[in-house]
Amino acid sequence: MQRSWRQDADKLTFISCRPVSQSRINATDIHLVPEDEAAQNMVGDINLFLRVDDGDEGDAPPQLIGEIELMIAEKANQGHGFGKASLLVFLRYVVEQEARILDEFVGSLEAGEKEKLVQGQELKFHCLSVKIGKDNSRSLALFESLGFVKVSVEPNFFGEFELRRADLGVQGVSDSLAAAGVERYVELAYERKE
């Protein structure tokens, strides 16, 4: 059972918000302000669920898979690039923080699972994955445009396509950002004041 979206080692959640104003982006010292996290600026969320895949019968070498879920909540906010922007910056964060994310995840596993997975090898994602309903052509097009490839030609039993991206290098993600017209990527520290 999940403890909390901020505490689970097998889940990473980001809230997607509208971008900060252009004048603030051009400033030399950018800080988030309370209005940045106000409800009217939140457009959706993006999640990464981590899992170990060792085949249907448990007889394949274990692989670390990160499954992405992306949601832009209200129809009025869909089709304006928020999903693409959220996915791109999320990918950038995941590839840059891969070691930290996977160390935390593997640290939460039971000893037997951990030993089987690590076995002296560097922890790396095998791929990032997403499952999308067969009729959701806009989401399918978005993920395919960013290097995700369908695992099979036909949807699964639940009417979903699984798409995977194996190129998880920083340069590949940076190239995707540049192709989308992102000229400057800045990661801002966020501290929640409760």
Residue-wise pLDDT tens digits, 138-185 = 999 999 999 999 999 999 999 999 999 998 888 888 888 888 877 666
In this prediction the pTM is 0.83
Predicted confidence at residue 30, as pLDDT, reads 67
Say if 184 falls within a structural domain: no
DSSP 72-127: E-SGGGTTSSHHHHHHHHHHHHHHHSHHHHHHHHHHTS-HHHHHHHHTTPPP-EEE
Higher pLDDT, 23 or 146: 146
Give the pLDDT band (50/70/90) at residue 63: confident
Question: Closest Cα to residue 174, out of 189, 186, 187, 185?
Answer: 185
In a domain, 187, yes or no: no
Instruction: Lay out the sheet containing 125-133: strands in order across.
Output: 11-17, 42-53, 63-72, 125-133, 160-165, 149-150
- Nearest one of 114, 116, 155, 146 to 128, comparing CA atoms: 146
Q: Tell me which residue range forms the domain holding 71.
A: 11-179
**Which CATH number do you get for residue 144?**
3.40.630.30
How many domains are contained in the chain?
1
Residue 61 lies in a domain: yes
Residue 3 is predicted with a pLDDT of: 47
CA gap 40, 145 in Å, rounded: 29
Please indicate, yes or no, if residue 6 is contained in any of the structural domains: no
